[in-house]
């Protein structure tokens, strides 16, 4: 997963430091495939009303639209006056009911968390990898390298050959096997360090390298899997904290198999969780799956963020903008960059390109803090988030999920 900025996203949310205005569009207009010119002046602090229920775009970035009226089909949204009227949320409500059985309402973050807040605990020493396991380039280095020096393609996404695709399928199948094995061990009382041990030993038994281990982006990641619990958004480092009844945990697995990476993650419940956690997880899964369904040859990469933004807008959740999906294959992270909020990113999907779709959906605000370990991203308001990820292949006719 790419992090757009190494610093806390607090600064990104300040009005004068939001994304360029040309990258911000009304979610309703996006849904209707209408693009309107935005306010031609710089966004001013007085216009930032992200804590209010109206004038919301992308659940995080707010702005004044020159042609916006109160939406006739949803009081919480605004739309262009040129947009046709759509029957109120009928399609989305049917999708939602098929998942959780009820019509969605507007969610609010927990003021008093009903779950355990996670803080860093003791991290065990790095587990060794046998010498016969093929390693990715970054794992061979004894010092931290910038990711640009890890053998990534220059700018364009790589179009994989048939042989590459066969190898990618093998890597992704191995990653799925590892994740399923780890998921079987999830229960109250089990530490995330134990999950790391299971992931590590399963990788070794399959003859694959656990890609997160020693990945050199900021500092070498010390473990073989990312385990992000409750208020940890992503990149949680496994430690000796036991999982508790009511926790939710994202387990993010990537393996390096015969020269190729396969990457996926899912969010799981530990014991009995509250209804808000169940709904959050359902929305996160829907965001990933709906975004993948929109992928096909010739489609703009921006449709992924547009789709996720629409679902978040309808449900009252937010997609964390700073963490992105990425191209994957012979490299762990590379182009294309997959942004999980509405955007104007350039480029269209081509058959043979492989990338990840992995939105982080939060029940609170999208601001976060990177802890001193250089990796763990914790929600600034201590709210929970959920994430689901697949590696996908663009085919001649649509898209294939490689990590099923």
Is 358 annotated to bind a ligand? Reply is: yes
Query: Which among 329, 401, 321 is positioned nearest to 359, based on CA atoms?
Result: 321
263 is in an annotated binding site: yes
Write down the number of H helices and E strands in the chain.
6, 20
Binding site annotation covers 389? yes
**Binding residue per annotation — 252?**
yes
Alpha-carbon separation of residue 38 from 42, 166, 178 (angstroms): 10, 45, 46
- Region at 174 (left for phi over 0; alpha for psi -120 to 50; beta for the rest): alpha
Parallel, antiparallel, or unpaired: how do β-strands 390-394 and 399-401 relate?
antiparallel
Task: Determine whether the annotation assigns residue 333 to a binding site.
Answer: yes
- Is 275 annotated for ligand binding? no
Q: Measured at the alpha carbon of residue 295, what is the angle toward residues 95 and 180, in degrees to the nearest 5? A: 70
3-state secondary structure 131-178: CCCCCCHHHHCCCCCCHHHCCCCCCCCCCCCHHHHHHHHHHHHHHHHH
How far is it, in rounded angstroms, from Cα 313 to Cα 77? 8
User: Does an H or E element contain 181, and which?
Assistant: helix 162-184
How many angstroms from the chain centroid is the CA of residue 302?
15
Residues contributing to the annotated binding site:
235, 252, 263, 326, 333, 358, 389
Residues contributing to the annotated binding site for a divalent metal cation:
252, 263, 326, 358, 389
Residues contributing to the annotated binding site for substrate:
235, 333
């Amino acid at each position: 997963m790419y992090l757009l900025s190494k610093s806390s996203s607090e600064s990104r949310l300040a009005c004068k430091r939001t994304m360029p205005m040309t990258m911000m569009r009304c979610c309703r207009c996006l849904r209707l495939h209408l693009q309107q010119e935005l306010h031609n002046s710089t966004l001013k602090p007085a216009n930032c009303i992200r804590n209010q229920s109206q004038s919301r775009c992308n659940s995080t970035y707010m702005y004044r639209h020159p042609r916006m009226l109160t939406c006739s089909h949803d009081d919480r949204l605004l739309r262009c006056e040129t947009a046709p009227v759509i029957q109120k949320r009928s399609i989305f409500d049917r999708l939602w009911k098929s998942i959780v059985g009820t019509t969605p309402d507007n969610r609010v973050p927990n003021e008093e968390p009903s779950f355990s807040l996670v803080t860093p605990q003791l991290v065990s020493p790095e587990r060794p990898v046998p010498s016969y396991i093929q390693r990715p380039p970054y794992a061979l280095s004894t010092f931290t390298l910038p990711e640009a020096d890890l053998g990534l393609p220059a700018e364009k996404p790589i179009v994989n050959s048939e042989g590459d695709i066969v190898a990618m399928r093998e890597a992704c199948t191995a990653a799925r096997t590892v994740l399923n094995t780890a998921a079987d061990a999830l229960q109250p009382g089990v530490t995330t360090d134990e999950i790391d041990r299971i992931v590590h030993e399963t990788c070794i038994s399959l003859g694959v390298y656990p890609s997160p281990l020693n990945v050199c982006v900021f500092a070498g990641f010390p473990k073989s899997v990312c385990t992000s619990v409750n208020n940890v958004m992503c990149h949680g480092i496994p430690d000796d904290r036991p999982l508790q009844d009511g926790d939710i945990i994202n387990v993010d697995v990537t393996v390096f198999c015969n020269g190729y990476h396969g990457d996926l993650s899912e969010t799981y419940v530990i014991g009995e969780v509250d209804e808000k956690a169940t709904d959050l997880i359902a929305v996160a899964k829907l965001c990933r799956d709906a975004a993948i369904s929109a992928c096909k040859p010739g489609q703009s990469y921006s449709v992924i963020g547009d789709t996720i933004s629409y679902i978040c807008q309808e449900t009252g959740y937010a997609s964390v903008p700073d963490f992105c999906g990425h191209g994957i294959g012979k490299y762990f992270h590379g182009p294309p960059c997959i942004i999980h909020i509405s955007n104007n990113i350039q480029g269209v999907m081509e058959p043979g390109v492989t990338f990840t779709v992995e939105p982080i959906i939060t029940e609170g605000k999208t601001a976060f803090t990177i802890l001193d370990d250089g990796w763990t991203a914790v929600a600034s308001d201590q709210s929970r988030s959920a994430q689901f990820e697949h590696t996908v292949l663009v085919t001649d006719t649509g898209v294939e999920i490689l990590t099923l």
